[in-house]
Amino acid sequence: MSNMKSIIAGVMAIAILSNQGLTAVVAQSAPPEPPIQTRVYLRKQCLLSEGDVISPPPGPEFLPALAAIFIPLLLEKLLGGVGGALKKAGSEQTLKDSGRRPTYLYHLIKRDDKQKVQQNPDLGCVIIIRGRFTAGDDDQPAPLTFSTKGVFAAMTDADEQNRISRLQENKIPVKEIVVAYEANITTSDDKTALLYESRFLEVRQFQGTRSSDSRALVISIGIVGAGDKEGEPLLSLALMNLGDVTVHRDKKQEKSTYTVLGPGQLKGRRSSWLGGIGLNETSLKALEKMEVTTEPFKGVMPATFEGTVIETEDGNAALKFIGEVLDSTKGDVAKALSGEILKDRSKEASEAADALEKLTQEERSAYGEYLTAIAAAAKAGLSAEEKAAADFEVKRKKGLWCGKYLSLGKLGQAPTDRQCTASDLKQ
């Protein structure tokens, strides 16, 4: 009997050790934590600073008659250098991390058998989230959902979970919030400018590894147009100085503190009016050549919202950073404005519409010649010399066509049944 007990005890010991070993293996193979990154979102209304869906009105329609009064705001040379200044400004003690959200500033819609230009209705709130995410982003925002009503602005585990749940149910797949910022977007009555009003801020962790319980925080919101270079042209730039924020991480979790500020505490933290979204008469004339072929709209004026979380050691360093950015292109502003004011708008609008139609026809002709060159190179019985010449002609014709195709792409008018890239021009 004693031998039998020894055998049973040995088997149980082996089983326990085996299970412990299995647990260790499972623990070692657990997936690593996703990296911290910054993402930008646009929604019809803010999510964390509102207690419920407020049914915002549709995006305002642009008034063509008003457009000719205002100076066009798409001045590539006006803010062209600020994008670089934003990256270079500040000392080594300035920590920055950015996220981007491609979108369209306007939608071309069809209503009552008439085409109209409407501001993108999602330009109601910009949300910048720095944290860990469980998945990539869906380009199509979900319908606004507030399963649990209220604004959760307390430093409690319950409110933190409610904030995460609110973001997740609105297609923001955040797992852990490091920084969360919201700004309500107001469009000017003349539809040419935006104003950002800070509505919510949460900071749970600072960037980098330096030990510090307090830092000055600046949030930048830039609108970047479609250009030949990454980050240019910068159409507008808001630099929101949010002052000092505190984060204390203690070995004892209950002693750790962080910053949460709701709408009431952020009242008055707003930008000035910022341009970059106005459609001038030239643009409106060009839109007359476009047709709504997709439901429910066709995107117009592609742009990218870029949000940057900027941290400095103190408020003086933050002000210095802002000053360096704003001073970067001071000399170009007056020159750009004076040159734009003196232009003949009516003549320019007509010429732009004609140029778009001409470019469209040239692209079609060039594509036809490219296809003809391909067919010629595929003929049987060509000598080596003839084949080499035919292949070269294919590349030449493709380059000529591709240049016109890419030009139409910048205007949102590239045909969808064919494609080429900038690299094709180098072949």
pLDDT at 19 over 90: no
Q: Dihedral of CA 387/388/390/395: which sign?
A: positive
Q: In angstroms, how far is the first alpha carbon of the chain from the final one? A: 86
The C-alpha atoms of residue 130 and residue 96 are separated, in whole angstroms, by 11
Q: How far is the C-alpha of 129 from the C-alpha of 282, rounded, in Å?
A: 36
Dump pLDDT digits (tens) for 277-287: 766 555 566 66
- Of all residues in the chain, what percent carry a pLDDT higher than 90? 34
Stretch 137-160: mean pLDDT: 90
Q: If you average pLDDT over every residue of the chain, what do you get? A: 77
Q: CA distances (Å), 2 to each of 9, 15, 121, 403, in order?
A: 11, 20, 81, 90
CA dist., res. 156 & res. 186, Å (int): 31
Number of residues assigned to the chain: 427
- The residues spanned by each domain of the chain are 37-341, 345-426
Residue 259: strand pairing partners: 203
DSSP assignment of 276-307: S----HHHHHHHTT----SSS-EEEEEEEEEE
The token pair at 198 is: 């800070």
State the Cα–Cα distance between residues 59 and 207, nearest whole angstrom.
Answer: 36
Comparing 63-72, 236-245, 314-323, the range with the smallest average pLDDT is 63-72
Q: What is the mean pLDDT of residues 93-115?
A: 84
Q: Which residue has the higher pLDDT, 62 or 56?
A: 56
Residues 277-318 pLDDT 10s: 766 555 566 665 666 666 677 777 888 999 999 999 888 888
pLDDT at 177: 97
For residue 199, name the pLDDT band (cuts at 50, 70, 90): very high
According to DSSP, the residues that pair with 214 across neighbouring strands are 246
d(CA 46, CA 391): 56
Of the candidates 297, 146, 310, the residue with the CA atom closest to the CA atom of residue 240: 310
Query: Range with the lowest mean pLDDT among 87-91, 246-250, 362-366?
Result: 87-91
Determine the pLDDT at residue 51: 94
Q: How high is the pLDDT of residue 242?
A: 93
* Measured distance CA(192)–CA(173) in Å, rounded: 33
List CB contacts of 156: < 8 A, sequence separation 6 or more: none
pLDDT on residue 236? 82
Structural tokens at position 409: 């792409």
Q: pLDDT by residue (tens digit) across 336-373?
A: 333 443 444 445 545 555 666 777 888 888 889 999 99
Rounded to whole angstroms, the Cα distance separating 123 from 40 reads 12
Percent over 70 (pLDDT), the chain? 71
Residue with the bigger pLDDT between 272 and 148: it is: 148
Predicted confidence (pLDDT) per residue in 203-218, tens digit: 999 998 887 899 999 9
Tell me which range, 162-176, 246-260, 336-350, is most confidently predicted by mean pLDDT: 162-176
Query: pLDDT digit string (tens) for 386-401?
Result: 889 999 998 889 888 8
Q: Give the pLDDT confidence score for residue 66 in this predicted structure.
A: 33
Instruction: Read off the tokens for 424.
Output: 């094709």
pTM of the predicted model over 0.95: no
Compute the distance between CA of residue 165 and CA of residue 36 in angstroms, rounded to an integer: 18
Q: Choose among 409, 411, 412: nearest CA to 424.
A: 409
Tell me: pLDDT of 405 over 50: yes
Sole residue written with tokens 């502003």: 333
